Structure formats: C-alpha cells, structure tokens
Amino acid sequence: MTHSTLVLPARCDRQAADDLLPKLRESLAAGDVVIDGKAVVQLGQSMLQLLLSARKTAWKNQTALTVSASEAIRATLATIGAEHLIQGGKSR
C-alpha cells in the first residue's frame, strides 16, 4: 500500500477543492493519505465538504487519512462540530 501527501493552499475555496479532487480520489484509491493543511488561512464550504467526504471514503476503504490542520481549519471545524475530521489523525 502506498502513502500520499497532499498539500492544501492557503485559500481553500471552490477552485482549490476542484483542483484537489482528482488527486485526492487517486490517492485514496491507492492507500494511506496525509493532508497537509498547516498553511490554510481560509477554509471554504467546498473544501470542507471534500475533506469530510475523504474521511468517509478512507474509513470505507480501511485506509488512513491524516489531516495536519492549521488554526483556521481547527476553528472552522469547531464552529460546525466537525472536529472528528482531525481528532486522532487517522480514520482506521
């Protein structure tokens, strides 16, 4: 099983989510994924939805999804009650 690292841009808007989607699909199908979101200053709805979907897919595939989150990501997730996306790091 392979391991992929995907780096999120500072501004995670709809365009960033659209750009990430094919890479994320491919990475999740291949194995464990690390999402580096340490540089994120803005997390939009489209990216949030994509990350939540990735968590569910990783769980279904029994692969690890680790999210390294910036304070902006943590604050957004706390606001909507989705801290589980990053808590514990892995979805196995």
Contact 51, 21 (CB under 8 A): no
Tens digit of each residue's pLDDT (9 = 90 or more) over 5-37 = 999 999 999 999 999 999 999 999 999 999 999
With 0-12 / 13-18 / 19 or more C-beta atoms within 10 angstroms meaning exposed / middle / buried, residue 80 is exposed
For residue 84, what are the CA distances in angstroms to 1, 30, 73, 79? 24, 23, 12, 12
pLDDT tens-digit profile of 41-89? 999 999 999 999 999 999 999 999 999 999 999 999 999 888 877 764 4
- Output the CA torsion sign for 28, 30, 31, 35: negative
* pTM of the shown model: 0.87
CA distance 72 to 39: 9
